[in-house]
Amino acid sequence: MSRRLAEGFSGDGERPPRTTVEAVVALGANLGDRRAALAEAVEELRLLPLVDEVRASAAVESVAIKPSGADPDAPAYLNAVALVTTRLAPTVLLSYLHAIEARHGRERRERWGDRTLDLDLIAYGDVRTDTATLTLPHPRAAERDFVLAPWLSIDADAFLPGIGRVDDALARLGGDR
């Protein structure tokens, strides 16, 4: 066996472990029992394969955002952020997030519509990608205080690739809370 092929091969049929990455997942709900949906989703994240740790922020309430802007007449959202230490590939993690949403009755009928559960992959380590199925970091994360503030509450040194420090991004929004 060549030296290159032998690197990382133990001979016992096991693969070398993948490196863990911290992924940032935003959670939101504005229909049904919002608090229960967020709590259950965090527990489901903890049960995913190749997930080593999940740390979740407290939930915050925010006004619904529609394509035309803030909609104070729509049901308010409850939002939180979870930091997920995982060895899942980002596309695989995203597919699990969609499955969790589906189990909670998420229907994708209209863009930015009301929902029982919304799970967005905000960042995956320092990965930057833009494909038909996944854009990282999330293209609107730096515009959303309901993502930045909860994230900052559980990681004071949070950093959003391509944007910079989360506390600076939040301050630019006028939400330096």
Which residues are annotated as catalytic? 106, 115, 118, 120
Q: Which amino acid is at 127?
A: V
Rounded CA separation 115/102 (Å): 11
Cα–Cα distance between 86 and 110 in angstroms, integer?
Answer: 31
Q: Which residues 6+ apart lie within 8 Å of 34 measured at CB?
A: 59, 77, 78
List the structure tokens of 159: 């950093």
SS3 content of the chain, % helix, strand, coil (to 5): 30, 30, 45
In this structure, what token pair is assigned to residue 175?
Answer: 């939400």
Cis peptide before 137 (omega within 30 of 0): yes
